[in-house]
Amino acid sequence: MATHGYSAVETAVRKTLLPVCALSGVLVVTGFFFPLFVGSVIPGRAWLVAALLFFGSGLAYLALLPVEDEIDTGDDRQSAPYLLRVRHLSPLTELRRFLAQQDPLTFGVPVAVLALFFCAQFALPVATGRAVATAETLLLEELGWVFLGAMVLCVAYCLFLLFGPWGDVRLGGPDAEPTYTYPTYFAMFFTAGIAAGIVFWGPAEALFHYRSPPPFFDVAPRSDAAVVAALTYALFHWGLSAWSAYLVIGVPIAYFTYQRGAPLRVSTILAPFLGVDGLSGRWATLVDVLAIFATIGGIATSIAFVAQQFLAGIDFQWGVAYGDLGPVVFVAGLTLIYVVSAESGVQRGIRRISGVNLALFGLFALLLVGVGPRSAVVDVGTAALGSYLGNFVPMSFFFDGPWVAAWTVWNWSWWFSWAPFAGLFLAALSKGRRVRTVVLTGGVATSAATVVWFVLVGGTSLSLQHSGRADILGTIEAYGGSEAVAGFPLLAALPLSRLLVFCFLALIVVFIVTSADTSTLVVSILATRRELAPTSGSILFWGLVQGSVAVGVLLVGGGEALQAVAVLTGGPFALLALVALAGLTLSFYRTEGFDRPWLPWLSAFPTVPALPRTLGPDDPPEPSRETDDTGDADAPPEDD
């Protein structure tokens, strides 16, 4: 057992953060309870900085609190607990080792592609936008059936794992114990996988469907029937299907990592076909490169859009100007927060902030239940949930016209593009869990929490809009059609609006931090040479890359283009998801057995390379491991 967080530097930083949090908190609270001070006494930009200091210093202090780490990482460099630990080295050692320990391809290719994209966006914005739009149209409209079919298979396979005999397989062997408690396990995966999208789209998506109903239901816009149809499709886009995309990547990675000794990488899904030794080849490297690019593109554009949402809330609430540098200041502050959280590691920042996120999520939901239109929300929510369950299968296959391409297919491609990052993190957390528990947590429990949120927030926004108590759609149009502002007129129409807005702004910050810190850690693992845990320098570099891309989106423009490019990676991962579930099925059938002759045709595939099994207590030890670039033997992660 080791104690982390007692270094002189971290102790000094913690002592500084407390008074900063207290002083900035006074300004923030003053702004909420005495709003006339904001804009007149306190300039808008100063209040923005104070808000960032308050949220950031509080979260950073929480992340840097010391912890007694009881997780036994052992000497296995392929183990997830070891790879999730951030190695703390001296600055000179950090600088010397940083480039030497990066994988040349998984490190260099994403950086080069992102740099070329922004150069093209800056020099030839029209041509770049046109090329991306053409590719996006081809993928979403002409090949949309690929996403629909892949998602249906993912859902079916997850249900099979949930109820089938292979759900009893324990990842890591029969005697393996879970690394994290169940509440921590659920909190970390849910908050990392959903990001701030649940806050961004929760008040807005159902309203857009209410204004332009989905053709599947054939109802009149803004009618009573459109209310139920709108919420039904919001639940459909954020429910079981979405989370299944993560599972079909995460479960194979977990299985081959813990049962067969494969490395903790996205390319491990190819292990049944390439073998463990073949995972260092060009096909596996290509998968990891795509995973890094999709993760950075998805997280960076989310950070940029969340910045717009946060600033739209400040503008709506107080009518203050924050200038052109406002978004840049927000992204810079946010980057500092999630880099500190990621650098502190899973056992400290990532775990704790996830817990705060889930608690704040529950508090906001309870407040909304207390002050919102409960009867209307219950009525529309019950009807929409019944419609969602009853129409799930036909909606999953419905592909008719541009509406489905713009909404359903686009959502499926977005979820598939996030699947490598979220799937790998799920795999890293799942040692000692049964496959059934992983599916129940990563698919059913997460879907249930998401559905509850959309019923509460989406149902409230629909009720207020349909009854005329608030014109949320009118406010969206007044802000140039930006859905970023949707939540604020909703909350302004309810009692305790100031408290609700405060919690909502806090949720925006905390949700994106819990995704960005995890994505920074995951990308650092993928870009670092195999069997080496990422260092603080790697965390800092990739965190700054994500923040820089978000700033580039805001300053150079091209946010929609970059988001579209990130979504385009969903196409390859939709196909790779099918490859992953096929390989997992073959491996399950051959190594775990099958007590019913449902799939006798699997015996026709005798050429799948055998994978080494996990060593047991009576097995001889593995050969000695390689030394790192300094010639030193492997050692546990160092602390400052």
Is the pLDDT at 546 greater than 80? The verdict is yes
Query: What 8-state DSSP symbol labels residue 170?
Result: B
Is the pLDDT at 84 greater than 70? The verdict is no
Highest mean pLDDT (candidates 309-313, 364-368, 540-544)? 364-368
Question: Average model confidence (pLDDT) for the chain?
Answer: 82
Kind and range of the H or E element at 293?
Answer: helix 282-318
Of 34-38, 282-286, 541-545, 546-550, which range is least confident? Answer: 34-38
Q: What predicted TM-score, i.e. pTM, was given to this entire model? A: 0.85
Joined together, the tokens standing for residue 137 give 């149209």
Is the pLDDT at 640 greater than 50? The verdict is no
At residue 589, the pLDDT reads 85
Count, residues in the chain: 640
In contact, 438 and 430? CB cutoff 8 Å: yes
Highest mean pLDDT (candidates 6-15, 186-195, 591-600)? 186-195
Taking residues 431-442, what's their average pLDDT?
Answer: 95
H helical segments located in 76-222: 80-83, 91-98, 104-123, 125-137, 144-163, 182-194, 197-201, 205-211
Taking residues 295-308, what's their average pLDDT?
Answer: 83
Kind and range of the H or E element at 512?
Answer: helix 497-527
In contact, 107 and 527? CB cutoff 8 Å: yes
- Angle, alpha carbons 404-408-413 (nearest 5°): 125
At residue 228, the pLDDT reads 96
In contact, 609 and 272? CB cutoff 8 Å: yes
Share of the chain above pLDDT 70, in %: 83
Give which of 162, 166, 150 is closest to 579, Cα–Cα.
150
Q: What is the pLDDT of residues 211-223, one digit of tens each?
A: 999 999 999 999 9
Is the pLDDT at 141 greater than 60? The verdict is yes
Of 102-116, 233-247, 408-422, 542-556, which range is least confident? Answer: 102-116
Burial class (CB in 10 A: 0-12, 13-18, 19+), 492: middle
Taking residues 203-208, what's their average pLDDT?
Answer: 95
Is the pLDDT at 70 greater than 70? The verdict is no
Q: What is the pLDDT of residues 317-344, one digit of tens each?
A: 777 767 677 788 888 889 999 999 998 8
Task: Give every CB contact of residue 486 below 8 A, 6+ residues apart in sequence.
Answer: 203, 204, 207, 461, 472, 475, 476
At residue 554, the pLDDT reads 78
At residue 104, the pLDDT reads 73
